[in-house]
Amino acid sequence: MSPNYMRSFSEGCLRPPTVIGQFHTLFFGSVRMFFLGVLGFAVYGNEALHFSCDPDKREVNLFCYNQFRPITPQVFWALQLVIVLVPGAFFHLYAACKSIKQEDILQKSLYSAFYIFSVFLRIILEAVAFWLQIQLFGFKVNAIYMCDVGALEKKFNITRCMVPEHFEKTIFLIAMYTFTVITVVLCVAEIFEIACRRLGFLKSQ
């Protein structure tokens, strides 16, 4: 791929054709990724080391932590961010290969339809991630986790485990839900903006 294609692709990703799309890119790239990358590491970075059960033995702690966290929140949210970016990235790659200018996306029906489809896919992916997050993490992190250790052939079947910094994790969890909702709202608003521009209610940029 030539440098011109790469430049067009990067410009399309960083500067979408709509005002709301540009705000979405700013919010997604600056706020959401910064929040996850910096604060997420601070909150969840040493969770496995501080997760302790009764009895406080390494094998029990590891077994229960894997039961408590089938997937770590940082990995889940990082995968969510990457997957949600895929539809837009494919569209802008297509636009760069076809030498489609950003202003043409709002002026030509076919390009507008493709772009709206990519935004709609983002909404679906965010909704699926929202549902999965509920299934995996719920809305609250409790201070005590009751772990089933029967598979370890212990004399006891259920043991109590202490979850470190559970209140901070609850706040962070709610924040990530909120970010997902904001992103979905921005995507819906972007579709309405495109529709209004196509109908002539808003002037083209």
Mean pLDDT split into 10-residue runs, the chain, 205 residues? 50 64 76 78 80 83 88 87 85 75 76 87 93 91 87 74 88 90 90 81 58
Q: Which residues of 52-79 are buried (b: 16+ CB within 10 A; e: fewer)?
A: bbeeeeeebbebbbeebbeeebbebbee
Reference 129, options 189, 68, 89, 86; nearest CA is 86
89/186 Cα distance (integer angstroms): 17
Domain holding 88, by residue range, is 3-204
Render pLDDT for 13-47 as a digit per residue (tens, 0 to 9).
Answer: 556 677 887 777 777 767 777 877 777 777 787 78
CA distance 91 to 197: 20
Residue 110: give its domain's CATH number: 1.20.1440.80
Predicted TM-score (pTM) of this structure: 0.82
Q: Domains in the chain: how many in total?
A: 1
